[in-house]
Amino acid sequence: MLDVKFVVENIDAVRKALETRGDVSGLDEVERLYKKRKEFASKCDALRHEQKVVSEQFRTSKSEEEREVLRKKSKELAQDIRALEEMLAKVESELNAALLRIPNVPHPSVPVGKSELENVVVRQWGEPRHFNFQPREHFEIGEKLGILDFESARKIAGARFVVYRGIGARLERALANFMLDLHVSEHGYTEIFPPFLVTEACMIGTGQLPKFEEEMYSVRDGFYLIPTAEVPVTNLHREEILDARSLPIKYCAYSACFRREAGSYGKDVRGMTRVHQFQKVELVKFCTPETSYDELESLVRDAEEVLKRLEIPYRVVALCTGDLGFASAKTYDIEAFFPGQNTYREVSSCSNFEAFQARRANIRFRREQGKKPEFVHTLNGSGLAIGRTIIAILENFQQEDGSVIVPEALRPYLGVEKIVPII
């Protein structure tokens, strides 16, 4: 959530910045409600001051007749104040609801553009492998190996799910352990295993609600299935004031993720590029405002290292303003090369939210004892999405006979050098 005072005092600059995202809806409403709140608050203050004067006059008056007039006046003022306070509370609620739907302001370094077609490739690592046969897509490879079972998944849960079988299930588990070990042992993150159900307040805190209600899975008793571990992990410090000396705080977490993929039907229907449930290792950081963009760069490098160790070609892309996520001030996508599709696909999205999430979740830090608390900056990124990393492994390391070579870094976790068809 943006600082409403900053928005109103810099309305033209904010409007111009949000226009590059293609979303200025609600900005006029925020300005209107802010002025209305200010007007009601000013009237309330004036009436309270008048009530205080009347009270003092009542205390010093020696005339019973005058005291009766003052008593009546005080009662009328109290009624007027209550009515104004009710109107003020209503406007406050409306203003907060309007602010929750305003996206973050892009950082000045974000390239301006309308869609993903205007994203900018920052760097590239590794050369796509040359095949002496037509490379197959992951679903064909996985089904022939007997490790990806889409038919059983459809019978159990419907379309856009997958059942991992045998070494396929072990591959999923091996990747999770490999990623967690790398981030904990070498990159200095603290491992968290969070709940997969969260409250509405948590979803509001990280920006999923109220704007993206249709994309979330809600369940009974006010809970939501998490779309990413970003939600529970960021909310670990909701309503807290952190000691500046503890920053940066770095967490990594493995979780299942649940998304409706609303509006994406017709895209990537086959296989597991877009599914309703997938697993991911998430990286989350809390830091001071002045260090957050350095922390974003290191976050991206930490996620990149997974692909380097797995020897999968990839590129890093800076998202343009029109492709930024709702809560993000700046985002880099890491895209692995998928030979079966002959294209690069996202396996990680690393974002700096600045104070946007912290203001919604009230996560602050104090630089020194007695100093006023400030909002932290929050960041997160996939380190990596496991399902899509499996796609990259199957497609990059496929052999002409249908087998798949296991990347060397993963062999100690999987215990085999090659995945061959189940007989």
Q: Which two tokens stand for residue 11?
A: 């309305």
Catalytic residues: 259, 274, 346, 349, 388
Distance CA 337, CA 346 (A): 9
Find tokens 């005291």 and name the residue. 67
Given phi > 0 = left and psi -120 to 50 = alpha, else beta, which region is 47? alpha
H-assigned helices in 100-223:
138-145, 150-157, 167-181, 200-206
Rounded distance between C-alpha atoms, residue 267 and residue 265, angstroms: 5
Quote the CA–CA distance of 35 and 91 in Å, as a whole number.
10
The answer, yes or no, to whether the previous bond of 384 is cis (omega within 30 of 0) is yes
Contact status, residue 191 vs residue 305, Cβ threshold 8 Å: no
- Joined together, the tokens standing for residue 393 give 């492994």
318 contacts: CB under 8 Å, gap ≥ 6 = 110, 111, 119, 120, 122, 330, 331, 332
The closest of 415, 398, 347, 378 to 177, measured between CA atoms, is 415
> From CA 360, how far away is CA 26, in angstroms rounded?
17
Strands 314-318 and 330-338: antiparallel
Question: Which residues, other chains included, contact 106 with Cβ-Cβ below 8 Å and sequence gap of 6+?
Answer: 17, 20, 21, 321, 324, 329, 330
Selection from 1, 12, 87, 23 nearest residue 363 by Cα = 1
Task: Specify the 3-state DSSP secondary structure of 73.
Answer: helix
What is the phi/psi pair of residue 137, to 5°?
-80, 160
Sheet containing strand 217-218, strands side by side: 197-199, 223-225, 217-218
Question: H or E stretch including 164?
Answer: strand 163-164
